[in-house]
């Protein structure tokens, strides 16, 4: 478990102190308002706990990719109204992240008030992790709190740099995420199963190589399963597959074998000659009977049932990526079915289930099990890099820092 300080390590009274809080406010917008405020809901406990202790809170966030230049359409002021609604408090918008204007804002804010600084990525030093910018921002605060796990894989001034100049703490959302991830792969209860799906093996190579040494069961789904099947000599017809990765896949299978990790590939599959909703050519086939004009678009019912039996023997599950082309019916069946099995096992207390990644969150929502997993991470890139076994700069910066 990473050794980091949390809000529990702060004094009960923070009156007059300024807390710089890194949050994720990269909200999807339509017609001037957010279509999803999950990310604001996530930071609410941290922000309200700090204001409740009397701190002046300055929110640091990026928004979009302005590339180190000011952009009138990418100011954090666009999300101010949505953030205020969720927090139930007014925010003072501050069009800078450092300097006299921020000083002035801090002077105006009272204990328990919140200021929203502008897009950190308007300043080129942010993405370059310029220590001068980090120090300039840090000068306005007494303490730093990172509550943006989704940005923790970036070594930026506001995610990593500031932690070198101020006492640094994990916010409540960050704390929950790090504890969940530690339970899933850091110090998991065995046996551990990992579901890894998605279109391409090439995008998840590092994940697969890391997992074979950490889990007892590796369940491969999506287009990746086709690449594994092809490497085993199965004719996958017109299926999406990376035939040039045969040697790589063979090596991963050998590594899994030596590590005592069972790799699960489907033995029945759902195929069609065209990728469309409920096509007339829809068939369920044994993997060795796929026609040359057919595409594998999902795992078959027998394989799905066998995977459910595997999960029943496990204590921990980590999931990233769908098993089939879940956006199009009926190729969501395997994903939905296995997700519901995992959810039921979690609810009865026999399985700890942690999932993450954009497609995965959408697939589990489609299965109606979002509330039933132990933890679902909304962080895409950071979750994937964690599954690769990489150190995340924003997390590492919280360890043993004293400012």
Q: In this predicted model, what pLDDT tens digit does every residue of 380-395 receive, in sequence order?
A: 788 888 888 888 899 9
Q: Please compute the mean of the pLDDT values over residues 14-33 and round it to a whole number.
A: 92
Strands (E), 13-103: 18-22, 29-30, 33-34, 56-60, 91-94
Q: CA-to-CA distance for 127 and 360, rounded, in angstroms?
A: 28
Q: What is the pLDDT of residue 96?
A: 97
Q: Please compute the mean of the pLDDT values over residues 172-177 and round it to a whole number.
A: 94
Give the residue among 147, 189, 191 at the shortest CA–CA distance from 168.
Answer: 147
Q: What is the pLDDT of residue 2?
A: 59
Burial of 84 (0-12, 13-18, 19+ CB in 10 A): middle
Instruction: Indicate if the pLDDT at residue 31 is higher than 90.
Output: no
Measured CA angle at 70 (ends 47, 155), to 5 deg: 55
Instruction: Tell me the per-residue pLDDT of 298-315, one tens digit each, with 9 for 90 and over.
Output: 999 999 999 999 999 999
Question: Under 8 Å CB-to-CB from 331, ≥6 apart: which residues?
Answer: 270, 297, 298, 324, 325
Q: Please compute the mean of the pLDDT values over residues 336-348 and round it to a whole number.
A: 97
Q: Please compute the mean of the pLDDT values over residues 248-272 and round it to a whole number.
A: 96
Residue 302 contacts residue 318 (beta carbons within 8 Å)? no
Helix (H) or strand (E) holding 308: helix 301-312
Q: What is the pLDDT of residue 3?
A: 81
Measured CA angle at 133 (ends 129, 135), to 5 deg: 105
Q: What are phi and psi of 73, to 5 degrees?
A: -95, -5
30: pLDDT confidence band, cut at 50, 70 and 90?
confident
Q: CA-to-CA distance for 126 and 113, rounded, in angstroms?
A: 25
Residue 353 contacts residue 343 (beta carbons within 8 Å)? yes
Q: CA-to-CA distance for 234 and 287, rounded, in angstroms?
A: 7
Instruction: Indicate if the pLDDT at residue 358 is higher than 90.
Output: no
Q: What is the pLDDT of residue 380?
A: 79
* Percent of the chain residues past pLDDT 90, beyond the cut: 81
Q: What is the pLDDT of residue 150?
A: 87
Instruction: Tell me the per-residue pLDDT of 103-132, one tens digit each, with 9 for 90 and over.
Output: 999 999 999 999 999 999 999 999 999 999
Instruction: Indicate if the pLDDT at residue 400 is higher than 70.
Output: no
Measured CA angle at 235 (ends 234, 240), to 5 deg: 105
Instruction: Tell me the per-residue pLDDT of 198-221, one tens digit each, with 9 for 90 and over.
Output: 888 888 989 999 999 999 999 999
15: pLDDT confidence band, cut at 50, 70 and 90?
very high
Instruction: Tell me the per-residue pLDDT of 48-95, one tens digit each, with 9 for 90 and over.
Output: 999 999 999 999 999 999 999 999 899 999 999 999 999 999 999 999
Instruction: Tell me the per-residue pLDDT of 223-233, one tens digit each, with 9 for 90 and over.
Output: 999 999 999 99
Q: Please compute the mean of the pLDDT values over residues 193-198 and round it to a whole number.
A: 94
Q: What is the pLDDT of residue 355?
A: 95
Q: What is the pLDDT of residue 249?
A: 96
Measured CA angle at 59 (ends 58, 61), to 5 deg: 145
Number of Cβ within 10 Å of residue 95's Cβ equals: 16
In DSSP terms, 319 is beta-bridged to 195, 355
User: What residues act catalytically?
Assistant: 39, 200, 358, 381
Mean pLDDT of the chain: 94
Instruction: Indicate if the pLDDT at residue 327 is higher than 60.
Output: yes
Q: What is the pLDDT of residue 200?
A: 87
Instruction: Indicate if the pLDDT at residue 342 is higher than 80.
Output: yes
């Amino acid at each position: 478990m990473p050794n980091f300080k949390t809000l529990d390590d702060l004094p009960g009274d923070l009156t007059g102190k300024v807390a710089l809080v890194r949050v994720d406010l990269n909200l999807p917008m339509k017609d001037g308002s957010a279509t999803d405020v999950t990310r604001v809901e996530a930071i609410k406990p941290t922000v309200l706990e700090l204001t409740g202790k009397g701190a002046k809170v300055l929110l640091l966030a990026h928004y979009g990719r302005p590339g180190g230049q000011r952009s009138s359409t990418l100011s954090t002021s666009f999300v101010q109204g949505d953030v205020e609604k969720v927090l139930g408090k007014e925010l003072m918008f501050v069009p800078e992240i450092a300097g006299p204007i921020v000083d002035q804002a801090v002077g105006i804010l009272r204990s328990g008030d919140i200021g929203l600084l502008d897009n950190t990525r308007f300043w080129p030093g942010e993405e370059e992790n310029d220590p001068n910018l980090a120090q300039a921002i840090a000068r306005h605060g007494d303490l730093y709190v990172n509550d943006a796990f989704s940005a923790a894989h970036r070594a930026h001034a506001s995610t990593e740099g500031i932690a070198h100049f101020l006492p640094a703490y994990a916010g409540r959302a960050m704390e929950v995420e790090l504890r969940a991830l530690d339970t899933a792969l850091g110090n998991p209860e065995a046996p551990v199963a990992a579901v890894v799906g998605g279109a391409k093996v090439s995008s998840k190579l590092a994940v697969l190589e890391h997992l074979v040494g950490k889990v007892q069961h590796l369940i491969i789904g999506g287009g990746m399963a086709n690449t594994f099947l092809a490497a085993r000599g199965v004719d996958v017809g017109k299926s999406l597959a990376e035939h040039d990765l045969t040697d790589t896949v063979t090596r991963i299978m050998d590594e899994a074998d030596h590590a005592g990790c069972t790799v699960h590939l489907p033995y029945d599959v759902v195929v069609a000659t065209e990728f469309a909703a409920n096509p007339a050519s829809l068939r369920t086939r044994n993997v060795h009977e796929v026609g040359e004009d057919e595409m594998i678009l999902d795992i078959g019912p027998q394989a799905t049932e066998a995977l459910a039996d595997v999960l029943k023997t496990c204590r921990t599950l980590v999931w990233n990526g769908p098993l089939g082309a879940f956006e199009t019916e009926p190729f969501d069946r395997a994903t939905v079915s296995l997700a519901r099995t995992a959810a039921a096992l979690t609810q009865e207390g026999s399985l700890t289930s942690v999932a993450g990644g954009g497609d995965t969150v959408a697939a589990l929502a489609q299965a109606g099990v979002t509330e039933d997993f132990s933890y679902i991470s909304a962080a895409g890139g950071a979750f994937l890099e964690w599954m690769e076994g990489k150190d995340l700069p924003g997390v590492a910066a919280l360890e043993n820092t004293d400012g």
